[in-house]
A and B are shown apart, each in its own frame.
Chain A
Amino acid sequence: MGTALVHSLAVTEKRGLFKSWTLLLAIFTFSLSLLGTFLVRSGVLTSVHSFAADPERGLFILVLLAITVGGSLLLYAIKAYDVKSESNFELLSRETLILINNVVLVIICSMVLIGTLYPLIVDVLGAGKMSVGPPYFNLLFVPFSLLLAFFMGIGILLRWKKSSPRKLLKQLLPSFVLAVVVGVGAAYLFNQDLAFKATLALVLAFWVVFSLILDAFSKVSNKADKLVGLSKLSPSYWAMQIAHLGVVVTMVGVALVATYSEERDIRMVPGDIVTLAEYSFEFQGAEKISGPNYSADMGTIEVLKNNQFFATMHPEKRFYPARGSMMTEADINAGLFADVFVALGEPLADGAWAVRLQYKPFMRWVWFGGVLMMFAGMLTVFDRRYKIRKSALPVTA
């Protein structure tokens, strides 16, 4: 919802349009965070994340919600009528694509909200208890995100108010073909199986990247020295590029991890070797060690990648006598292109152990995309336009 707001604000700032949309999104974004407070503290939902379930507290928060959200929406309903914008833009314009962006983002948000509240609705209506969980959310999130990526690739290249369809097609068609070729190629290089969703995600990721590159070059098309021209582009422009790049980086990370990760829970005796993707894990037994406030069994697992030494990993099973609790300390080897995870379960007979092995490709990309988006946000702060606004304040105040 916040993302939709940011985009909508951009339109309002640059074109004076979408004022009431922007307003509504701002109200929704804040209302949802208040709603979150209510949901975890009132006890209407069970979750590993929810705190004390206290209906009394819940009622208090609900009243608070009614006043703030209800009040602001009431104000909106009455007053927003007077806020009108000149809405003259073509179907093929940046405004339309941002509207589409808003629609998709708001729907993704609504989908999560509906899914979360559905069991409650069914229960209140007396139709029994049901559950909505990760399988639902994961299943529905995918088509909408892919749709978002698709429109992102187009939206980046569109001009405000109106874009020429012919010029756009000239840019998009080769970009599309190239994206398919490179995307499928990259997917195949990574894993011969060429799973549909993962390949599609890669194709769309390259689609967006090529659009970003095309747009950057079109901005310096009339400059003699392209590189100098690029460096002169405003920080907020680069922030936009990096932020969108961040989105597709995360998308690629999620797609590859969800499709190609492998995992085994297995009984291993010293000397056993298990293979996951291109990694082989040899269990070399466990020894007793002790730390400052615990005693532990530390396992040694030698990992080979493509039959060459990769790492020696040491998962632990710790016992803390102060509380009498057992903790499992996994060992994770976090690399740029894959995470390898090893954990010990229970000791079994004959020196065997229950071991959990996981291979998660491109796991860090999920985080890295987020870091890029964050970095882009911080970059925007340095844009000149905000400094100008500061000096304008004495005038408007």
Chain B
Amino acid sequence: MKWFTIVLVLLSFSVFAAIDTFEFSSDSERQMFRQLSEELRCPKCQNQNLAGSNSAIALDLRRELHRMVLSGQSTVQIKTFMVDRYGEFVLYKPSVNSSTYMLWYGPFALLFIGFFVVFMMSRKTSVSAEKPTDNEVVNKSAKHEETTSHRQKMHDLLGSKND
């Protein structure tokens, strides 16, 4: 029995999100419920979604969500219902409007800028070599230089390939 308990302990961990037993008439309904309960934020808790919270309001909202899913409402309708009562705060997936363009499109814009910079950098031909100033930065890179040429010598001596 002791061996058994040890194995059990090794195999287990604690979990504390509530387990509801809502019934659905189809897999797509179940999927919709799951997705929405993960996308909607519990208005009261410390940054938890409806699926992961045990608070009373989360329970109520899950029940309400279940009712709405069963009654055939669309994702948009359900989200609008929630936002009407609790504000945009309750959406973990921010809606795409003029105030969130930076959020949704920013990274892609940055990507294009980045690629453009890379392209420009690779087209430059040799620029002036370093100036030996006495700041840390150049000392640090000077050390790199020394090690690089040192390594070069070692490699030449030992005849191994430069990767």
Given a CB threshold of 8 Å, the question of whether A touches B is answered with yes
Measured CB to CB, the residues of A under 8 A from B are 12-14, 16, 19-20, 23, 45-48, 50, 79-80, 82-91, 93, 95-96, 99-100, 103-104, 106-108, 110-111, 114-115, 118, 122, 127-136, 139-140, 144, 219, 232-234, 236-237, 240, 263, 265-267, 291, 314-316, 327-334, 343-346, 348, 354-356, 385, 388-389, 392, 396
In the complex, chain B residues 100-117 whose Cβ is within 8 Å of any chain A Cβ? 100, 102-103, 106-107, 110-111, 114-115, 117
Q: Residue B29 at the A interface, CB < 8 A?
A: no
Contacts A91-B119, A118-B94, A345-B19 supplied; 9 other A-B pairs, CB < 8 Å: A110-B107, A111-B106, A133-B47, A133-B49, A136-B93, A332-B11, A332-B13, A345-B18, A354-B19
Query: Are A133 and B92 interface neighbours, CB within 8 A?
Result: yes
A237, B89: Cα distance in complex, Å = 49
Query: Are B21 and A48 interface neighbours, CB within 8 A?
Result: no
- B24 nearest CB across to chain A (Å): 10
A135, B95: Cα distance in complex, Å = 11
A256, B56: Cα distance in complex, Å = 34
List the B residue with the shortest CB-CB distance to A97.
B118
List the B side residues contacting A108 at CB < 8 Å: 107
Query: Are B148 and A14 interface neighbours, CB within 8 A?
Result: yes
| Residue of B15, B99, B123 with highest tally of chain A CB at under 10 A | B15
Query: Are B163 and A219 interface neighbours, CB within 8 A?
Result: yes
Given A46-B46, A82-B135, A83-B138 in contact, is the A103-B114 Cβ separation under 8 Å?
yes
Per a CB cutoff under 8 Å, which of B20, B88, B125 touches A88? Answer: B125
Per a CB cutoff under 8 Å, which of B93, B126, B154, B160 touches A139? Answer: B93
Query: Are A16 and B141 interface neighbours, CB within 8 A?
Result: yes
List the B side residues contacting A234 at CB < 8 Å: 160, 163
Query: Are B92 and A99 interface neighbours, CB within 8 A?
Result: no
Given A48-B46, A132-B92, A136-B92 in contact, is the A99-B118 Cβ separation under 8 Å?
yes
Given A134-B92, A234-B163, A330-B13 in contact, is the A265-B115 Cβ separation under 8 Å?
no
Query: Are A89 and B122 interface neighbours, CB within 8 A?
Result: yes
Number of interface residues of B (CB under 8 A): 70
Query: Are B41 and A133 interface neighbours, CB within 8 A?
Result: yes
In the complex, chain B residues 146-163 whose Cβ is within 8 Å of any chain A Cβ? 146-148, 150-151, 154, 160-161, 163
Query: Are B39 and A135 interface neighbours, CB within 8 A?
Result: yes
In the complex, chain B residues 56-106 whose Cβ is within 8 Å of any chain A Cβ? 87-94, 99-100, 102-103, 106
A157, B91: Cα distance in complex, Å = 44
Query: Are A130 and B89 interface neighbours, CB within 8 A?
Result: yes
Given A48-B46, A79-B135, A134-B92 in contact, is the A316-B107 Cβ separation under 8 Å?
no
27 pairs of residues in contact across A and B, judged by CB atoms under 8 Å? A16-B141, A19-B141, A48-B47, A48-B48, A50-B46, A83-B141, A88-B124, A90-B122, A91-B123, A99-B118, A118-B94, A130-B91, A131-B88, A133-B49, A133-B93, A135-B39, A219-B163, A236-B163, A265-B19, A265-B20, A314-B8, A327-B14, A328-B14, A329-B12, A345-B19, A354-B21, A356-B19
- A137 nearest CB across to chain B (Å): 10
Per a CB cutoff under 8 Å, which of B92, B111, B144 touches A135? Answer: B92
List the A residue with the shortest CB-CB distance to B109.
A107
Q: Residue B133 at the A interface, CB < 8 A?
A: yes
A85, B143: Cα distance in complex, Å = 15
- A265 nearest CB across to chain B (Å): 5
Query: Are A80 and B137 interface neighbours, CB within 8 A?
Result: yes
- A379 nearest CB across to chain B (Å): 14
A82, B127: Cα distance in complex, Å = 12
A354, B19: Cα distance in complex, Å = 7
Per a CB cutoff under 8 Å, which of A118, A128, A144 touches B103? Answer: A118
Query: Are A392 and B147 interface neighbours, CB within 8 A?
Result: yes
Query: Are A46 and B47 interface neighbours, CB within 8 A?
Result: yes
In the complex, chain B residues 15-44 whose Cβ is within 8 Å of any chain A Cβ? 15-16, 18-22, 34, 38-39, 41
A130, B135: Cα distance in complex, Å = 46
- B127 nearest CB across to chain A (Å): 6
- A114 nearest CB across to chain B (Å): 6
A348, B89: Cα distance in complex, Å = 34
